[in-house]
Amino acid sequence: MSVVFYLVAALTIAGGLAAVLLKNLVHAALAVTVAFLGLALLFLSLDAQFAGFAQILVYIGAVAILIVFAILLTRGSDLPKDGVFSRTWLIGLAIAAAVFSVLGWAVLRSGPVLPNQSAVPTVTVHDIGVALVRRYVLPLEIVALLLTAATIGAVIVAMHEKGGSQ
Amino acid sequence: MTPLTAYLLVAALLFAIGLAGALVRRNAILVLIGIELMLNSANLNFIAFWRYGPHPEALTGMMFAIFSIAVAAAEAAVGLGLVIAIYRHTETTDLDRMNRMKG
């Protein structure tokens, strides 16, 4: 494994950890943006250029902005008086640690039988576009419908006022 | 350690971090951030298996990751809209205080 992989993986993990641990919500949103960027760099290091740039466009460009908007609209940058962690934080941490140990055990145990093709795949964005309008055209249409419905639904849900008047 | 194992371990760690964030934080927005991290780590698995799997030209893992990104974006929009709606109603985003089903 190259040095670049370890640097990017450390950046991603640090961003994720900071997002979960930081008290201030605005700082957490910035940290999760760093984690999204690290994931996009990991995609690029896996020779998946299209997915990497889609990750940057969708997550850093849209989802991070949405999170910041939600923080602003809910005055989430004010620190709560009774702590940021839930009452049952110990149980949650134990569940997360158990899930990680099971996943890590499974990955390490199945290491020798996992595929390991070292040849770089010669897939261009053109191939992805052709596949999207041929083999995957029905999922593409369904995703288009889902995105439209989700956008309209999000606007209606966020617009709804008490008493039925909008 | 093969490269695929390393990527899978990073994805597993990120998934656990996201799960911990979704389980231990009180703020609903932070819970959504944790869910986003979990979805992203699943995407990393798809891309890693696509890269090191036997048939990358079939584009299966790549397509799954792209559609997963789109669905996760829709989920984030609806989830944050719900958080804003609940905040308008109850003046809080603290999940420990959202203990009523009736408005």
Interatomic CA distance for residues B90 and B80, integer angstroms: 15
Which of chain A's residues have a Cβ under 8 Å away from the Cβ of B95? Answer: 86
Structurally, chain A folds into a number of domains equal to 2
β-bridge partners, B94: B27
pLDDT per residue as tens digits for the range A55-70: 999 999 999 999 998 8
Our CA-based measurement puts residue A64 at a distance from the nearest CA of chain B, in whole angstroms, of: 9
Task: Determine phi and psi for B94, rounding to 5 degrees.
Answer: -80, 120
Crossing angle of helices A25-45/B3-24, nearest 10°?
A: 160
Residue with tokens 């889902």: A146
Same domain flag for A2 and A57: yes
Whether residue B59 and residue A123 make contact (CB cut-off 8 A), yes or no, is yes
Which of chain A's residues have a Cβ under 8 Å away from the Cβ of B33? Answer: 19-20, 28-29, 32, 67
Is A40 part of any domain?
Answer: yes
Question: Which ranges constitute the DSSP H helices of B1-103?
Answer: 3-24, 28-52, 60-90
pLDDT tier, A86 (very low <50, low <70, confident <90, very high otherwise): confident
Write the CATH number for A47: 1.20.120.1200
- Count other Cβ atoms within 10 Å, centred on residue A165: 6
Structural domain span for residue A5: 1-79
Q: Which pLDDT does position A165 carry in this prediction?
A: 47
pLDDT per residue as tens digits for the range B8-42: 999 999 999 999 999 998 888 999 999 999 999 99
Interatomic CA distance for residues B93 and B89, integer angstroms: 10
Whether residue B88 and residue A162 make contact (CB cut-off 8 A), yes or no, is yes
pLDDT tier, A82 (very low <50, low <70, confident <90, very high otherwise): confident
Residue with tokens 């466009």: A57
pLDDT tier, A15 (very low <50, low <70, confident <90, very high otherwise): very high
Same domain flag for A75 and A127: no
Global pTM value: 0.90
Sign of the C-alpha dihedral computed for residues A138, B65, A100 and B80 taken in this order: negative
Q: Which pLDDT does position A89 carry in this prediction?
A: 85
pLDDT tier, A143 (very low <50, low <70, confident <90, very high otherwise): very high
Q: Please name the residues in contact with A20: beta carbons below 8 A apart, sequence gap of 6 or more.
A: A28, B17, B18, B20, B21, B24, B25, B30, B33, B34, B37
Last residue of a domain, one of A79, A100, A131: A79
Q: What's chain A's average pLDDT?
A: 87
User: Which helix H or strand E contains A96, and what residues bound it?
Assistant: helix A89-109
All structural domains of chain B, each given as residue ranges with its CATH number in brackets, are 3-97 (1.10.287.3510)
Interval B54-63 mean pLDDT: 86
ipTM over 0.95? The verdict is no
Same domain flag for A6 and A74: yes
pLDDT per residue as tens digits for the range B75-103: 999 999 888 888 888 887 787 777 777 75
- Option in B18, B52, B87 nearest A115 (CB): B52
